[in-house]
Amino acid sequence: MSKLTAGVIGAGSIGNVHLSGYAASPKLVTIKAICDVNPARLKIMGEQYKVAAEHLYTDHKKMLAAEKLDMVSVCTPNVFHYPIAFDAIKSGVNTLVEKPMVATMAEARALKALAARRKDVKVMVAFSHRFFGMNMTAKKMIDRGVIGCPFMIRVRYAHGGPYPGWAQSDWFYHRKYAVGGALLDMGIHAIDICQYFIGPIKSVAAIVKTLRKPIEVDDNAVMALDFGAAKCLGCIECGWTSPPGFSGIEIYGDKGSLILDLVNGPKHIHGVARPDGSVETVTDPIPVSGNQYHWGLQLESWVKYVAGKKTVTEIPGIEAGCSSLAVALAAMESSKTGKRMNVKSA
């Protein structure tokens, strides 16, 4: 099989992660083109990944028209995901789009309709948290019934915010580019992982606030979730003002608990019957094998998916992009109205 060709649109911090992911599969894929509206950044990334100047673009439409690509990554600020992913899918290129997939439910519906017309095009949303080894192992344990039926999931995804040291500019703090703050950044990962483990979220009640940072968008949010027929509730806390502390997921089931601690590693807590009939609580570390670098594994899975190889884990597609956005936007609405909102996906 001839090698696949890849392009990256938006060569900032996460664009660099995607580029290094493609570069890590040299037998399967070649980086053919890069696009970024910032010529200085484009030059740096072109040199780093040995992409010749004639394959560097500041306009994604020109890149899509001029290059024959098997796949692209869309890694721009949030508001540009929709027009760029739309153009890429329409032109027949397999598309990996960063989270949040798009910014409005109208965009989600339009992208879903386009993808339904272009069934030949593979689409993935970069829900990278699904690719943490411990989350992949936990998913298998839940599906095998190891903790029984989950009735509560709690997720805390919080850090000090995207600056200093991460993004190329301060777009994350501006509504015009980001649409939302910590909720659309960290919260959307948490929403996706809750739906991955438990199933569709049916309703949400939320408080979304700007507590500390002098910015236009939220820096902290809490969400209470109801999974309806799955008979499970959930709680998400996400934020951009957190000192180092617990970050991860707790899942409580009828037969045991999973503590998926991003800092200290994962644990399985369960009861073991003693000979006298009493129950001893046992804490087992969860052995996790394979690639712990979630972004690397995500890109490896995407490349294998496009190459038609057996994927390492299931691929989050358009449905995951639509349903996670629907929950996030319902949470924002709940915070504004003070009401619990039913979730209606695209």
Among candidate residues 86, 76, 106, 80, the one with its CA nearest the CA of residue 329: 106
Q: Which residue number, 17 or 232, has a Cβ lying nearer to ligand NAD?
A: 17
Distance of alpha carbon 84 from alpha carbon 202, whole angstroms: 30
Tokens for 216, please give them.
Answer: 């236009």
Sign of CA pseudo-dihedral 38, 41, 44, 50? negative
Query: Which one of 11, 111, 236, 346 is in contact with ligand NAD (CB under 6 A)?
Result: 11
Closest-CB residue for ligand NAD? 12
What Å distances lie between residue 236 and 52, 197, 239, CA to CA? 45, 14, 10
Query: Which one of 4, 8, 14, 103 is in contact with ligand NAD (CB under 6 A)?
Result: 14
Mask for 139-168, x = binds ligand NAD (CB under 6 A): ---------------------------xxx
Q: Which residue number, 75 or 222, has a Cβ lying nearer to ligand NAD?
A: 75
Distance of alpha carbon 111 from alpha carbon 102, whole angstroms: 9
How many other CB atoms are found less than 10 A from the CB of residue 174? 16
Distance of alpha carbon 38 from alpha carbon 339, whole angstroms: 42
What Å distances lie between residue 303 and 123, 229, 293, CA to CA? 12, 35, 16
Q: Which residue number, 37 or 233, has a Cβ lying nearer to ligand NAD?
A: 37
Q: Which stretch binds ligand NAD (CB under 6 A): 11-19, 108-116, 132-140, 280-288?
A: 11-19
Q: Which stretch binds ligand NAD (CB under 6 A): 19-27, 30-38, 194-202, 228-236?
A: 30-38
Query: Which one of 7, 12, 161, 239 is in contact with ligand NAD (CB under 6 A)?
Result: 12
**Smallest distance, ligand NAD to C-beta of residue 295, A:** 7
Query: Taking CB under 6 A as the rule, does residue 48 contact ligand NAD?
Result: no
Question: Within positions 164 to 203, which residues make up the interface with ligand NAD, using CB under 6 A?
Answer: 166-169, 171, 185
Q: Which residue number, 147 or 155, has a Cβ lying nearer to ligand NAD?
A: 155
Query: Taking CB under 6 A as the rule, does residue 126 contact ligand NAD?
Result: yes
Query: Which one of 4, 6, 8, 10 is in contact with ligand NAD (CB under 6 A)?
Result: 10
Among candidate residues 18, 197, 208, 199, the one with its CA nearest the CA of residue 99: 18
Q: Which residue number, 157 or 252, has a Cβ lying nearer to ligand NAD?
A: 157
Query: Which one of 5, 25, 95, 128 is in contact with ligand NAD (CB under 6 A)?
Result: 128
Q: Which residue number, 47 or 254, has a Cβ lying nearer to ligand NAD?
A: 47
Mask for 73-112, x = binds ligand NAD (CB under 6 A): --xxxx-x-----------------xx-------------
Query: Taking CB under 6 A as the rule, does residue 283 contact ligand NAD?
Result: no
Among candidate residues 74, 4, 15, the one with its CA nearest the CA of residue 46: 15
Question: Within positions 205 to 244, which residues make up the interface with ligand NAD, using CB under 6 A?
Answer: none
Query: Which one of 3, 23, 24, 37 is in contact with ligand NAD (CB under 6 A)?
Result: 37
Query: Taking CB under 6 A as the rule, does residue 15 contact ligand NAD?
Result: yes
Binding site for ligand NAD (CB under 6 A): 9-15, 35-38, 41, 60, 75-78, 80, 98-99, 126, 128, 166-169, 171, 185
